[in-house]
Amino acid sequence: MNSILIKDALENLCHRLLTGYPRTPLIPQAAVQAFRQAKWNAEATPSIELVSGTPTWTDEAYEAFVIAHFHFRSERYQDPFIYRLFLIDGIKIEGVDYDRCRESWDYLRVRCPRWPGFREDRCTPAIKEQILILMRDTYAAL
């Protein structure tokens, strides 16, 4: 992971030297940092984000990740969560750019490999039924 961080820093420096402007990263650095600081907790509980319908767990730093995106006017704040939902249920939502979501997922996976959301028990079809029940119960309660 350190080699990725060094590569990012060198690319940023070269871009600034060549253009005079900072390079805009795929995902804001503050959002990457939020995922890096998230620590797995065996007691974490899942919930459904109401707008996107994607699952999040209480130990994933979802709020800090989203706030960092809003601060930097980035539109990719839902990408990793939408992609994870696709990994869980295998269903593509019409109008979603899954290539972009996968790009964001891969970018974060390299830079934040210990983020709890990348754990196999949170992004595989094995939890599909649990997530569908959680979705049903969440939306029924509205």
For residue 84, which of 26, 35, 29, 25 has the smallest C-alpha distance?
35
Mean pLDDT score, 42-70: 96
Query: What gap in Å lies between CA 141 and CA 121, rounded to an integer?
Result: 26
Arithmetic mean of pLDDT over the chain: 90
Q: What is the residue extent of each domain of the chain?
A: 27-140
pLDDT score of 60: 98
Mind listing the pLDDT tens digit for each residue in 83-141?
999 999 999 999 999 999 999 999 999 999 999 999 999 999 999 999 999 999 999 99
Mind listing the pLDDT tens digit for each residue in 8-18?
666 656 645 66
Which residues fall within 8 angstroms of residue 52, CB to CB, at 6 or more apart? 78, 81, 82, 85
pLDDT score of 113: 96
C-beta of residue 29 within 8 angstroms of C-beta of residue 55: no
* Residue with tokens 């620590």, as numbered in its chain: 39
pLDDT score of 15: 47
pLDDT score of 22: 52
